[in-house]
């Protein structure tokens, strides 16, 4: 059932030229989305407050969205006010995981990730955050212990793994990253890809976006190789592959702990417990493989 309060907020925004009829838009586990038609155009309205438990601050999303538009990667920001972001609607197809990992799509994704790191980094303006998965692991652990999570007893082992992975990643050269490369955050308009949903964006290692895309969309080993080759323009050396493998584990761990935290704190109806368990199992498999292959 649509949220009548949110509908009233959307309908009452001062950016419209006349009466509008907002329509709910599916998706989003940390905001409520609507589409609106006005002045012969279509817009997306995102309603969401700050979420300190996940490191999501809306001023950061706003500045990142504006920079992504200036860099040619994201849609135009049309209006903003506290808790509300209005962007131009992109006519296109939201990718599925199957489409995202298709051989023809992987080089296109590598290109937009590279342009994000190169161009959005140059266009970002105003205060923005840093996204560091190992800080988030420590932050989530404290929330999970305090909140009586069913996973509280797992925290010592998970934090030990996070510390060892952070050492394996080593020093970084920060770039501005998207940091939430689920397939649903890519739109293909038939000519180009767009990146949407910048709420987790921030300065980070370029390794995270690469590992996050590959792990979220479960790329096969040959597709991962194609992703890294296309991003770098050459085959990665052994040191790069080791640090990338460590960050892949970190991405899976962050996603699992995001689910654990959402399970006990999020007001949204969703099976966060299953989400957390699925990612935790994938993390444990990747972490075991990392230790076997890279002697962590």
Residue carrying the six token digits 């080993």: 221
Q: In what order do the strands lie in the sheet with 193-195?
A: 93-94, 186-188, 193-195
Q: How far apart are CA 128 and CA 293, in angstroms?
A: 36
| Mean pLDDT score, 251-260 | 98
**Per-residue confidence (pLDDT) for residue 1, from 0 to 100:** 43
Q: What is the pLDDT of residues 204-234, one digit of tens each?
A: 999 999 999 999 999 999 999 999 999 999 9
pTM of the model: 0.95
Q: Which domains does the chain have, with CATH numbers?
A: 4-88 (3.30.200.20), 93-294 (3.90.1200.10)
Whole-number Cα distances in Å, 200 to 28, 51, 180, 228, 272: 13, 10, 6, 22, 18
> Which residue, among 94, 85, 140, 113, has the nearest Cα to 262 in the 3D structure?
140
Which run of H or E residues covers position 245? helix 238-265
Instruction: Find the mean pLDDT for residues 139-163.
Output: 98
3-state class of 138 per DSSP?
helix
Using a pLDDT cut of 90, give the percent of the chain over it: 92
Q: Is the pLDDT confidence value at 141 over 50?
A: yes
**Quick one: tokens of 74?**
């994201």
- pLDDT for 267 equals 84
Helix %, strand %, coil % for the chain, to 5? Answer: 50, 15, 35
Reported as half-sphere exposure (CB side, CA atoms, 13 A), residue 12 has a value of 7
Residue 195 has pLDDT above 90, yes or no: yes
Assign residue 141 a region (left: φ > 0; alpha: ψ between -120 and 50; beta: otherwise).
alpha
- Mean of pLDDT values over 135-146: 98
**Average pLDDT, integer, range 132-140:** 98
Give percent above pLDDT 70 in the chain.
97
Q: 282 with 243: CB under 8 angstroms?
A: no
């Amino acid at each position: 059932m649509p949220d009548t309060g949110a509908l009233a907020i959307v309908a009452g925004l001062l950016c419209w030229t006349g009466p509008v009829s907002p329509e709910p838009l599916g998706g989003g586990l940390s905001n409520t989305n609507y589409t609106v038609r006005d002045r012969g155009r279509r817009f997306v309205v995102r309603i969401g407050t700050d979420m300190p438990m996940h490191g999501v601050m809306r001023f950061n999303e706003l500045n990142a969205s504006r920079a992504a538009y200036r860099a040619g990667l994201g849609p135009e920001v049309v209006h903003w006010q506290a808790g509300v972001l209005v962007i131009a609607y992109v006519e296109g197809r939201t990718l599925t995981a199957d489409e995202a990992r298709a051989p023809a799509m992987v080089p296109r994704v590598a290109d937009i990730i590279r342009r994000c790191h190169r161009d959005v980094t140059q266009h970002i303006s105003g205060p923005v955050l840093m996204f560091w998965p190992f800080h988030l692991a420590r932050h989530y652990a404290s929330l999970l212990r305090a909140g009586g999570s069913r996973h509280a007893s797992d925290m010592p082992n998970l934090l030990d793994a996070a510390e060892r992975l952070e050492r394996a990643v080593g020093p970084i050269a920060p770039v501005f990253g998207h940091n939430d490369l689920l397939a649903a955050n890519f739109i293909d308009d038939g000519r180009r890809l767009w990146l949407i949903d910048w709420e987790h964006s921030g300065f980070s290692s370029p390794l995270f976006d690469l590992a996050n895309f590959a792990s979220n969309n479960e790329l096969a080993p040959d597709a991962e190789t194609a992703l890294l080759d296309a991003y770098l323009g050459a085959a990665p050396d052994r040191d790069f592959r080791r640090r990338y493998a460590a960050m892949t584990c970190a991405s899976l761990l962050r996603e699992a702990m995001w689910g654990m935290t959402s399970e006990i704190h999020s007001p949204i109806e969703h099976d966060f417990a299953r989400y957390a368990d699925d990612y935790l199992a994938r993390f444990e498999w990747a972490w075991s493989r990392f230790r076997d292959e890279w002697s962590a």
